[in-house]
């Protein structure tokens, strides 16, 4: 079941906005559904270092079959989550 590409189709919301006249609005990208293995690896990496350099981000993205932007965003969100907890 976790063998998907990591993307979920959430097109219904976008179609509804377009039908209501929001055609000028740029459609948002579907939310990424990370697999448990991806999250585990991301969390382990985050425990070691809170910030990734470009080369580290590139390697992690390739290993997890995610884009560098997805890795960057995940780390930004995770740092904000840590900040809220503190």
Q: Which residues pair with 7 in a beta bridge?
A: 32
Q: Is residue 78 a part of any domain in this protein?
A: yes
Q: Is residue 11 a part of any domain in this protein?
A: no
> What are the phi and psi torsion angles at 7 (to 5°)?
-115, 140
**Per-residue pLDDT tens over the stretch 15-51:** 444 455 556 678 887 888 999 999 999 999 999 999 9
Q: What is the CATH number of the domain that holds 45?
A: 1.10.10.60
Angle, vertex CA 36, rays to CA 73 and CA 44, nearest 5: 65
Residue 42 is part of which domain span?
36-85
Residue in 64, 69, 1, 17 with CA at minimum distance from that of residue 37? 64
**Per-residue pLDDT tens over the stretch 55-69:** 999 999 999 999 999
């Amino acid at each position: 079941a976790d063998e998907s590409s990591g993307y979920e189709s959430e097109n219904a919301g976008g179609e509804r906005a377009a039908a209501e006249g929001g055609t000028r609005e740029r459609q948002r990208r579907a939310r990424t559904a990370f697999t448990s293995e991806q999250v585990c690896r991301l969390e382990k990496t985050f425990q070691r270092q809170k910030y990734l350099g470009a080369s580290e981000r590139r390697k992690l993205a390739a290993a997890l079959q995610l884009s560098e932007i997805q890795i960057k965003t995940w780390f930004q969100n995770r740092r904000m989550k840590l900040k809220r907890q503190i």
